[in-house]
């Protein structure tokens, strides 16, 4: 199979995202790579696809047990043979992984950096062919990074001990120029192909609030919210905040390094499986959590630097769905951080000059973090500028940029509009924008009442439908052709549907908002699909997002596939998942579509 067939068969996608194909081609050519790609940009596919195409077993160095488990669970669910080696395995389990690897049964092995130079692991490496070594969270190798881990310094030694040096690919979501230079030097990368994608996460809404009472504010934010993480700077604060939330009827659980290993494991599993709504944690939680449908990340305290904030806030909206990142700011947080920096870096193996230099660096980073919290300008631009990018001054999607407008995710409505144009084309008919909008509203009397998209936006004001449709024309998803100004789908619309794109629009704030003004998103069907996903995941013993992400379920709601062929067009549905789940999910979708048709007939 070529890379496109692998992408479709195992991962259910029809096209690569920005940068992915370049990285894959370089790895397949045997080149070292250094890739800085934001969370949700698809870093994992950049090395998983080459691993499937190469002879032998790829080694993936990963910093946390939970991160390895999430990745391996997802690969196995996609029909890919993978395993991990870390301290969670007993001797029998470790031996079984080694046996399978030696027999050529594994395409990827995830391993903790501490294990690399052990005699037992080096012995295994001599028995297998290793075409590729991947270093995930590569910023951990740099003392200038925000997550330095001394064990990462052993990676270069491990590579030198291999009988044949394979291609080496380093990946991270956050790295300044200084950190990138450290990664290249300390991992001994050889003339690496270097890719730095933009740090912008357009689906994330950034906001800084300065409440009189953080306690009142946090309760207000988290009412009726699920899939949320609240970060606090101290263990004591997590306990305090969690207690406040529970007393106010919010399903919250605490997580920090002081909890027992069993409690942490249970809490993490419950959060991944959607059994709890909110987790209140220190930064000990998160790096290893590949939960795709986190809708909200709140920082109760100010983080120590923008790298940490970007990494932690970036755990929201990993599936590309709109998500919020709210930071609660107070000057007392800054005072506490200054105190902690002033009393840090007193390690005996550092000279006084080195200690002073590290404190100076940390104070400079904190100053940038404080500037972010206090700016009246665009918050997104503040983050991008820090990482060396400069965007427009007003992003239209952060708390400072939308004070006089409201932003709305119109992804599902856009999909419905494009679907209507497509269904008309299937009938060999073309209509102008007004007619398309009327069909969607269910107001057209031209004989389109049997069209599957007829009336699917009946609860949306016609003005809103028209605004979204005109936006799709303006942005090149639809072209108006001929004297009748008929709607014709452009290639951009096909990419949007298949690549689970998202569309955020700015609307003038209405003076009053009622239930009738809310966008219809097939919520009933979405909830039915969520229930089926939860039941399926429980039977398999995996988190729900491993079955399908929220974004994939939303695609199902928009496209309403009627058979396996159409089901395979849903972004995130590969051959294995279509075979395993297609029948049950199509049945639920068909029953819903029939019910809607009967109600409208």
Integer Cα distance of 339 and 330 in angstroms? 15
State the Cα–Cα distance between residues 306 and 383, nearest whole angstrom: 7
Find the DSSP H helices in 30-88.
43-53, 65-77
Torsion of CA 241, 245, 248, 249, to 10 degrees: -160
Predicted confidence (pLDDT) at residue 513 exceeds the cutoff of 50: no
Calculate mean pLDDT across residues 263-268. Answer: 85
pLDDT in tens, 334-367: 988 998 888 887 766 678 887 888 888 889 889 9
How confident is the model over 381-407, as pLDDT tens digits? 999 888 887 766 788 889 888 875 567
CA 543 to chain centre: 15
Residue 377 CA, chain-centre distance (Å), reads 26
506 contacts 405 by C-beta, under 8 angstroms: yes
Instruction: List, in order, residues 6 or more apart from 116 with CB less than 8 Å away.
Output: 61, 154, 155, 157, 158
**pTM attached to this predicted model:** 0.59
Rounded distance, CA 241 to CA 230, Å? Answer: 9
pLDDT at residue 510, as a whole number: 54
Query: What's 163's DSSP letter?
Result: S
The Cα 97–Cα 89 span in angstroms is 10
In sequence order, the 6+-apart residues with CB closer than 8 A to the CB of 516 are 459, 461
- Which tokens hold the place of 91? 């001797």
On the CB side of 130, CA atoms within 13 Å amount to: 25
Query: What are the chain's domains?
Result: 3-196 (3.40.50.300), 204-403 (3.40.50.300), 408-517 (1.10.10.10), 523-600 (1.10.150.80)
Mean pLDDT is lowest, of 244-248, 265-269, 388-392, 496-500, for: 388-392
Ranges 96-105, 377-386, 514-523: which has the least confidence: 514-523
Mean pLDDT of 171-199: 89
Q: Residue 73 to residues 76, 540, 574: CA-CA distances in angstroms?
A: 5, 11, 16
**Cβ neighbours around 232 below 10 Å, total:** 23
What SS3 state is found at 61? strand
Q: In the numeric block, which tokens belong to residue 323?
A: 């998500």
Angle between helices 352-374 and 306-313 (to 10 degrees): 60
Which range, of 108-122, 154-168, 300-314, 514-528, averages the lowest pLDDT?
A: 514-528
The residue assigned the tokens 């500028």 is 385
Once rounded to an integer, what is the mean pLDDT over residues 209-221? 91
How do residues 406-420 score in pLDDT, each as one tens digit? 678 899 999 999 999
From residue 104, alpha-carbon distances to 81, 97, 109, 138, 317 in Å are 10, 11, 12, 27, 36
- SS3 state at 77: helix
- Look at 160-174, 228-242, 335-349 and tell me which has the smallest mean pLDDT: 335-349
Q: What is the pLDDT of residue 89?
A: 87
**pLDDT for res 66:** 72
Q: How confident is the model at residue 289 (pLDDT cuts 50, 70, 90)?
A: low
Instruction: Count other Cβ atoms within 10 Å, centred on residue 155.
Output: 23
Dihedral over alpha carbons 569, 572, 578, 584 (to 10 degrees)? -100
> Does residue 234 have a pLDDT over 60?
yes
């Amino acid at each position: 199979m070529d890379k496109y067939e692998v992408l479709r068969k195992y991962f259910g996608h029809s096209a690569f995202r920005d940068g992915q194909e370049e990285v894959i081609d370089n790895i397949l050519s045997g080149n070292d790579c250094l890739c800085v790609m934001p969370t949700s940009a698809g870093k994992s596919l950049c090395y998983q696809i080459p691993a499937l195409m190469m002879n032998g077993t790829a080694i993936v160095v990963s910093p946390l047990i939970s991160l390895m488990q999430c990745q391996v669970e997802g690969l196995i669910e996609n029909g890919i043979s993978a395993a991990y080696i870390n301290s969670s395995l007993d001797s029998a389990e470790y031996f079984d992984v080694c046996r399978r690897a030696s027999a050529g049964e594994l395409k990827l092995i995830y391993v903790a950096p501490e294990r690399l130079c052990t005699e037992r692991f080096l012995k295994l490496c001599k028995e297998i062919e290793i075409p590729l070594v991947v270093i995930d969270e590569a910023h951990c190798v740099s003392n200038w990074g925000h997550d330095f881990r001394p064990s990462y310094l052993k990676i270069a030694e491990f590579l030198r001990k291999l009988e044949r040096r394979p291609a080496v690919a380093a990946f991270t979501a956050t790295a300044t120029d200084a950190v990138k230079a450290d990664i290249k030097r300390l991992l001994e990368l050889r003339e690496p192909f270097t890719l730095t994608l933009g740090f912008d996460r357009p689906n994330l809404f950034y906001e800084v609030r300065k409440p009189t009472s953080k306690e009142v504010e946090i309760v207000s934010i988290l009412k009726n919210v699920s899939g949320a993480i609240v970060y606090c700077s101290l263990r004591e604060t997590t306990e305090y905040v969690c207690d406040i939330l529970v007393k106010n009827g919010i399903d919250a659980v605490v997580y920090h390094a002081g909890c027992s290993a069993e409690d942490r494991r249970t809490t993490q599993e419950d959060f991944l499986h959607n059994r709890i709504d909110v987790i209140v944690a220190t930064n000990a939680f998160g790096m290893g959590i590949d939960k795709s449908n986190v809708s909200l990340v709140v920082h109760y305290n100010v983080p120590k630097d923008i790298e940490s904030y970007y990494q932690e806030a970036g755990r929201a909206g990993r599936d590309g769905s709109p998500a919020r990142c709210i930071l609660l700011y107070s000057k007392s947080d800054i005072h506490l951080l200054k105190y902690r920096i002033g009393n840090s870096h007193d390690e005996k193996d550092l000279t006084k000059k080195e200690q002073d230099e590290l404190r100076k660096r940390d104070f400079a980073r904190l100053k940038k973090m404080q500037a972010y919290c206090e700016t009246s300008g665009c918050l997104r631009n503040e983050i991008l500028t820090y990482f060396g990018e400069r965007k427009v001054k007003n992003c239209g999607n952060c708390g400072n940029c939308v004070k006089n407008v409201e932003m709305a995710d119109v992804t599902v409505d856009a999909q419905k509009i494009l679907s209507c144009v497509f269904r008309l084309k299937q009938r060999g008919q073309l209509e102008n924008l007004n007619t398309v909008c009327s069909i969607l509203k269910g107001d057209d009397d031209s004989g389109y009442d049997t069209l599957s998209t007829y009336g699917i936006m009946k609860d949306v004001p016609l003005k809103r439908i028209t605004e979204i449709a005109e936006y799709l024309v303006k942005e090149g998803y639809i072209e108006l052709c001929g004297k009748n100004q008929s709607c014709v789908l452009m290639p951009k619309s096909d990419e949007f549907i298949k690549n689970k794109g998202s569309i955020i629009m700015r609307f003038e704030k209405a003076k009053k908002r009622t239930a009738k003004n809310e966008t219809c998103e097939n919520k009933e069907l979405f909830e039915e699909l969520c229930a089926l996903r939860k039941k399926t995941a429980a039977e398999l013993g995996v988190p729900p997002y491993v079955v399908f992400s929220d974004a994939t379920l939303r695609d199902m709601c928009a496209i309403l596939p009627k058979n396996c062929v159409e089901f395979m067009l849903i972004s995130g549905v590969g051959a294995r998942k279509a075979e395993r789940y297609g029948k049950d999910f199509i049945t639920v979708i068909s029953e819903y579509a029939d019910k809607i048709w009967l109600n409208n007939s």
